[in-house]
Structure 1
Amino acid sequence: MGLYNLFSYNVKVQYVSCFFSLATFFTLTITILNLLLPFLIAYRGRGFWLRSHSFYEQPAVHFTYEYLLAAESDDHSSPIACGETNGKYVNVIKNEEDCAEFQVQEYDMSGDGKIDLLDFKLNLNLPQERTITSLAIILTLDFQLKSVCPMHMQSLAVINKEFATPPSGFKYFADLQFYQTAHLPCKHNLIHTKYNYSLFKFDKNSHENAIDNILENYFMRDVTTHTKTLYSRSQHGHTGSMAIQISLRVPEMEIKYTPSLIQELKWAWPQYLSLVVIFYWIFNKIKMFVFTNRLVMAWEIQPWKFGLGKTKNQQ
């Protein structure tokens, strides 16, 4: 008849020594190595600290009803500049009567409560003898992130187009993209509002071109938006007017941010712990070899001998 293992337990053999002894020094050294070596290996292996992290979010984007259009024609002495700038570019805007019927529509295509598409339409009246050679349009946007790293800023959508032949219409389709040269600071219950101000700031004493002034100031920011052209189409002919349509799609965007200390520890702890377990097993084998072979001086306490002695004393 076969025998079956019904119950078992480990026998614990102890090794004791004085505090100031070689055995204690050996055990303390092994313990320090067990804690320190996994950290050094994980750290030197790179990727231990989470210096950068990212998330995806579809921002809340709205038009602020400020825009600036500058068109150059074959008559360089009389450029066309118009727009809605809340009185900041009164001295710059010329021939504003040529711009008419500016329309803005915002669409929620997915029905999730966020704007997915911004549609701008503008009719530009042109004299028959004038021919448009290039077009520059700046649209100001209200840009908000609300999930992981709250942020509220004013940004731009810039469209440039040059025409080889006289245009009568221009259609532009693009995705709005998020661009950053530095990671966002990410703090709970704190909205990043460093760039939440109007970008239409013009120094009247400056002799610089208004659009160049806006774009140079915008270029110096750490966080901006730009348009990724999907396709564009221009119509040609002298019709006395030019119909401009700009459609901007607002997709999900990748946002990079600096993680907090707690998030870094959550990332580093599993790497460290996985190596500690391996080194703990290796160093335990080393300690067992050293103490069982009496390489250092220590007293061995065996539980069965301790139990027999206790029984004799009680008798």
Structure 2
Amino acid sequence: MAFYEVYAHPALVRYRTSVCTKATLFLVVVLCLTYIAPLLVAYRSQGFWIKRKTYEEQPVVRFQYQTLLVAATSLRGDYVAWSTFPHLNNMLGANLRIPAVSVREEDRNQDGKLDLLTFQLQLPLQPDEQVYSVQLLLTFSYQLFVSVIDGSSPFASAYDLNNIMRSYQERNLTTVLSCPTPVWTVGRAAGSPFELNAEIRYPLEVIRYPLTMNESETFAWIQYVGVLLIFLWVFERIQRFVFQNQVIRTVPIPVGKPHLS
């Protein structure tokens, strides 16, 4: 006659022992390793208690077509200047020198966000005039626009570079032109303009922000629980092997069956 299984259920077996035994000591060691070891592992991973996080984002950058140029020349330590701000240009008087400017922005990876600005400027000079140094200020927006130059102000202090940079550094959000590699080429022909060519790339920005206490605690719990589940699985099987095979002497008692006390 053939037999087949009609019903199955797990059998529960309790393993008993007194307090001062090897089984009790083994249980205490297992509990400590199960719940304390994951805490140490998560903490030593350098990612347990995080106070700051970072993420990368391609910013939406737009050139605002606001420019301020100051060039020191060789004529009696004088200078020439130009800007896109009419109030400032009116105050420059004879020092005003209007250049030819060409600007082009490109989206090279076709992701809908601009990646590169090509800026070209030709400053007309007198035949005996040379440029010794240049200060160039260009303004950009990062979707959230806060202007650092008050173009409607009739006062010269609003266009002072020291005041502009101080106001910029006091903002919560700032950007820095990194890895500039200027190349100054001499030997300009008489009557030729001073040329300034610049390429400014808009790379991925690394944004750092502090975590609140709740966010830090939540992330710490995630790290701890992720390691704890592995330790629970491992030590559960270790305990089952030790007690089922009586590696450490205990009294097994099947639940639901009579037993001798």
| TM-score computed with the length of structure 2 as normaliser | 0.68
Find the aligned partners of 2:89 and 2:170 in 1 and give their Cα distance.
Answer: 25
Q: Which amino acid aligns with 1:139?
A: L
Runs of 5+ unmatched residues, structure 2: 1-7
Alignment of 1:1-315 (within 5 A): 11-14=11-14, 34-43=34-43, 46-76=46-76, 78-85=78-85, 87=87, 89=88, 93-95=92-94, 97-144=96-143, 152=144, 196-200=145-149, 204=155, 210-221=160-171, 223-230=174-181, 232=183, 234-237=185-188, 238-258=190-210, 265=218, 269-278=222-231, 281-282=234-235, 285=239, 288=243, 293=249, 301-303=253-255, 305-306=257-258
Higher alpha-carbon deviation: 135-144 or 106-115? 106-115
Measured on the aligned residues, the alpha-carbon RMSD in Å equals 4.5
Aligned partner of 2:162: which letter?
D
- The alpha-carbon deviation at position 211 of structure 1 amounts to 1.8
Indicate how the Cα distance of structure 1 residues 303 and 243 shifts in structure 2: closer, same or farther if over 3 A, else same.
same
Matched to 2:179, the amino acid is K
CA distance in 2, matches of 1:249, 1:74: 32
Q: Distance in 2 between matches of 1:115 and 1:217?
A: 26
Q: Do the aligned partners of residues 221 and 22 (structure 1) sit closer, same or farther apart at CA in structure 2, a change above 3 Å counting? A: farther
Which structure ranks higher in relative contact order (CA pairs < 8 Å, sequence separation ≥ 6)?
Answer: 2
Counterpart code for 1:236:
G
Distance, in Å, in 1 between the alignment partners of 2:215 and 2:42 is 18
Identity %: 22
Q: Can you give the 5+ residue segments of structure 1 that lack an aligned partner in the other structure?
A: 1-7, 145-151, 153-195, 310-315
Alpha-carbon distance change, 259 to 266 in structure 1, aligned in 2, over 3 angstroms: same
Q: 1:63 to 1:95 in 2, by over 3 A?
A: farther
- Where 1:245 maps in the other structure, the secondary structure is strand
Distance 1:204 1:39, change over 3 A: same
Aligned residues: 242
Q: Is the 8 A contact 2:116 2:201 kept in 1?
A: yes
Measure how far apart 1:240 and its partner are: 4.7
Looking at secondary structure, tell me which structure has more helix per residue: 2
